[in-house]
Amino acid sequence: MPAACRSCCGSRATSSRISIARERDLWVLADEIYAELIYDGSHRSIAVEEGMAERTILLDGFSKTFAMTGWRLGYGVFPRPLVEPVTKLVTNSVSCTATFVQRAGAAALSAWPVEVERMRAAFRERRDAVVRGLNAIPGISCRMPHGAFYVFPNVSGLGLGTSAQVADRILDEAGVAVLAGTCFGRGGEGYLRLSYANSLPNLAKAVERIGGWVQNAAALPSAKRG
């Protein structure tokens, strides 16, 4: 599953990685763009763990929490030794962010508009509806995500081909755009990724179309039913 959709430091596996980073003196790049789009509990940054602040590069932005996608504004928090070289890199590659865009970002952070919580509540409702609908389709199982606005259902039980084949067929035959799990690495075989950043009626229609397609689809000759 895409790591950006997970809350940090919530498992023994993550704790083990933190230990490795300390022992081997490694840099850690933490993409925390979904830190405020968590539905259960709260996000805990890896940078607050013991011995991690001095080796963590934290990246965040405004496109998710504040829905400011078109503003193209983000920021990084770096250990002091990296500040000067990264500043040189940014200055000579993208110059700087327009003043009015920076002011918009500052306003969002200082005001923290009520729409942020409303948006999170809306995403929670959409998440619940999509997961419930997908789990009702024979051959598909979907775990409940704790953050972001994506689901990662397992479709291997359909026996209708690889993740890429299933994604292509759902697009061509059901008219629903999904991503093959293998877009995120070989470990994603057997999975699809769907975004629920859409209206409830459209999401219900999409799940209904997928369910209808599963019911009527004929297995590819090379596919083995699981």
162 or 15, which is more confident: 162
Output the pTM of the full model. Answer: 0.83
Encode pLDDT of 131-150 as tens digits.
Answer: 999 999 999 999 999 999 99
CATH class of 115-216: alpha beta
Domain ranges of the chain: 3-111, 115-216
Average pLDDT over residues 106-111: 95
pLDDT above 70 covers what percent of the chain? 90
What CATH code would you report for 3-111?
A: 3.40.640.10
DSSP assignment of 116-173 equals HHHHHHHHHHHHHHHHHHHHTSTT-B----SBTTEE--B-GGG-S--HHHHHHHIIII
Domains 3-111 and 115-216 share a fold: no
